[in-house]
Homo-oligomer: A and B are copies of this chain.
Amino acid sequence: MESVLFSIDQLSHRYADDTIALKSLSLTIKQGKKIALLGNNGAGKSTLFLHLNGILQPTSGKIYFKGKEVAYNRKALLSLRRQVGIVFQDPDSQLFSASVIQDISFGPKNLGLSNEKVLERVEWAMEQTETAVLKDKPTHFLSLGQKKRVAIAGVLAMDPEVIILDEPTAGLDAYYSKQIMNVLNIIQKQQKTIILSTHDVNLAYEWADEVVVMHDGEVLCHSDPVTVFQQEEIIKKAHLDTPWVMEMFQALVEGKVISSDEAIAQNKEELFQKIRFNNMKILQ
């Protein structure tokens, strides 16, 4: 059963200095999905995220969470933020406590849990993100990759149903990026919804169930990765690249290496398999 989590209706946002960040954007987000948000710098991704957490209020339009309109009184916000966690892009602005364990416990403590409960949550979150060894380290001694994992742990410890991540792999090398993506896969197995923004079209293509392309405060396209990246016009308009697996697949179809009837490869392994398969056909 796919229940609707967020339903955004004609959402517009205009900042105090009159810049318009979102232009009557409508979007539906279903439970348990892995959603990638693509778009260039300044497309409005971060503004949208801040709305999903109730930090910004719409200039016009409405946001429904689990069918109820989002309200902005203290009690409603408390309940919304308990269920929706955001991991921000710059971990330096997210980690504000002196030590790792203090930082991870910031959220659960604010939920008013008992000390034992908080500790339980924190330990669980550290286990999921493999940050237990960093526990007593001061946050400013961590590497970027470690900081990002601690930031994720801090949100996980609040046990939200939806986790939003702003550019979780930006600035990380391949090794740490994979580590982060592994953490996300573990989380997703627990039926949590994950929404992330990224510049990495290859990551989005291979990882996401759904891809949302944003440009200039609007949603250009929202569908499964293959459908989205086949729309060349949209990809060009949003200044995106085509994922190389897809580009390669198309080149191989054109080059008659892969038959044009074959389903498009969704990741590197599938592509390699198709090439091996072609080879076997030739040998036969």
Measured CB to CB, the residues of A under 8 A from B are 40-42, 143-145, 167, 170-176, 199, 201, 239-241, 244, 247-248, 251-252, 254-257, 268, 271-272, 275-276, 278-279, 282
Contact = CB atoms under 8 A, between A and B. Distances in A.
Contact of A276 (B173, B174, B176, B254): B254
Contacts of A239: 173-176
A143 B42 contact: yes
Copies of the polypeptide in the assembly: 2
Contacts of A175: 40, 239-240
A256 B241 contact: no
A170 B173 contact: no
A275 B275 CA distance: 12
A273 B127 CA distance: 48
A171 to B, nearest CB: 5
Contacts of A145: 41
A237 B57 CA distance: 48
A186 to B, nearest CB: 20
Contact of A41 (B42, B167, B172, B241): B172
Contacts of A241: 174
A173 B40 contact: yes
A87 to B, nearest CB: 16
A246 B200 CA distance: 19
